[in-house]
Structures are given as structure tokens and as C-alpha cells.
Amino acid sequence: MIKAVVFDMDGVLSDTEPYHKFVRDELLKEFGVFSEELSLSALGKGLEAYWQSVIKKFNLNADAKKLTDDTFLRLADLAFSVPFKPMDGLTELLKGLKKRGYKIGVASSSLKVMVYAVLKAIGVETFADAVVCGDEVKDVKPAPYVYAEALKRLKVLPDEAVAVEDSHTGAKGAINAGIKTVIAYAPGGALSGNENMDICAFKVSDLREILNVVQKL
């Protein structure tokens, strides 16, 4: 029996990618290595893994963990000055889940300061029963720890939860935590980075579809 739905944040609760790209572009330009292709190659990758690849490619004197933290801190600053918006249908979905007694979790690899800034901006903070961020666990997705901690805080077993993700990296993190049912969210039918999401049990293009999927499980 499904008792909880755990959401990724970036690309699922809010379309944060344009802001991620803005910050990535800033940092790449500061290192003098910017190109549109290089910036877009981050899609679907873990952020630290992306910066590791950039550092290696250009032999930069930089630290991937520091660049990752810097990215999230700059994004958090943006969250207080730009209009982050919820994905279409999100509020309706969350109200429907709550009405039917499902617990709601957020499992994000982003830093806590970034996550809470976005959740507050899009009005989701009050719906969440548990929020777990990348800097609260020892490793981010595809490692299982973000999801494992979310399950712990929600007080549910892995087979009592469903995860909603838009990337292979995130879906893998949920599966590694023992969550058997992962829903791939692809607004407009397109997944970030055109990734292979065959590991997901379901694919939806509208968040409102998730309520029907969960109720049938």
C-alpha cells in the first residue's frame, strides 16, 4: 500500500533549469571556458559530476565540491529576486494527495538554503511532511542517501513510497534506496538530457496524472 509520494525538486516541482543555466554560464565565463554546448552538457547529470568533468576537460585549478556549493548558493540568492514558479498542476496534485491522506516528501541533491528558498517561493513548503537536502546526507543522487533519509523522516518503508523524478540520476537514487516505483515526469513529453528513463515504472507529461497512478498502486 502506497503511503507517501517523494518528489525531486529541480525540474519536477519547479522549472529551475533556466536559473541553473544562468549560474553555470556565469561560472564557466569566469573560468574563460564558456560554450553553449558545454553548459547544456550538464542536463541530467549530477551537478558535482558535471563540474568534475569540466575541471578535468580544461585542467582547471578548481574544486568540484566548492563549485557545486557555489552554484547552489548563487541559485539561492536568485530565488529571492526572480519569480520561481510551481510546475503546472503541482498545487492541484499536492492538494489531491493530501486530501487522500498521502504523505509528501521532497528529496533534493540541492543545498538546504536553495531548496527552502524555492519551496517557499512556489508555495510548497506547507505541503511537505519531510524535506531532505543534499548537504544533509553524505552523498547525493544517484547514491541512495537523500531518498533513504526522506523515507526515514516520513516513517514509511521503501515499498510504501513512490518517487517522482525527471532524470536518470535521480531515478537511480530512488531505486538504490529501495523504492520500486519511480514515476518519470516529462513535461511536454521531453525528459531532461533526452535520458533513458526505462528504469521508471511510469511516465507522465502532466503532474495531475500522478494522482491517478498512485491511487491504482
Name the residues annotated as catalytic: 8, 10
**Cα 29 from Cα 120, distance rounded (Å):** 30
Distance in angstroms (rounded) separating the CA atoms of residues 188 and 210: 15
Placement of cell 564558456 in the chain: 34
Structural contact between residues 8 and 116, judged by C-beta atoms closer than 8 angstroms: no
SS3 146: helix
156 vs 192: CA distance, rounded Å: 29
Answer whether 180's CB lies under 8 Å from 158's CB: yes
Helix (H) and strand (E) counts for the chain?
A: 9, 6
